[in-house]
């Protein structure tokens, strides 16, 4: 194997590592923002309901958010807005 081929392979491996790192960072940012904004809350509610109350029918997502916001308005706690 020539030196040029070995250098090329190391460079390719480094490039793949950089791309992999960027993809992982992007996934971490996406996870953080969706968790922070509450995008996964309804799915967590449905999973919890299925685990703790098998056979119970979950409310619709629209009803879930309406009840959640009504609860927050009725009982405000530490929050930014």
- The answer to whether 64 and 45 are in contact (CB under 8 A) is yes
Q: Based on the structure, what is the number of domains in the chain?
A: 2
pTM of the model: 0.58
Same domain, 12 and 31: yes
N-term to C-term CA, the chain: 63
In a domain, 22, yes or no: yes
Residue 27 CA to residue 21 CA, distance in Å, equals 10
E-strand stretches of the chain: none
Same domain, 70 and 44: yes
In a domain, 23, yes or no: yes
Average the pLDDT over 15-29 and give the result.
93
pLDDT tens-digit map of 45-69: 999 999 999 999 999 999 999 999 9
In a domain, 5, yes or no: yes
In a domain, 81, yes or no: no
In a domain, 56, yes or no: yes
Please give the residue range of the domain that contains residue 11. 1-37
Same domain, 21 and 53: no
- The three-point CA angle 79-42-60 to 5° equals 120
């Amino acid at each position: 194997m020539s030196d040029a081929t070995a250098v090329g392979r190391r460079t390719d491996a480094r490039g793949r590592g950089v791309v992999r790192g960027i993809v992982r960072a992007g996934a971490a940012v996406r996870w953080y923002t969706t968790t922070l904004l509450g995008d996964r809350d309804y799915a967590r509610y449905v999973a919890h309901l299925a685990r703790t109350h098998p056979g119970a029918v979950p409310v619709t997502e629209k009803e879930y958010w309406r009840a959640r916001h009504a609860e927050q308005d009725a009982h405000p706690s530490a929050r930014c807005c």
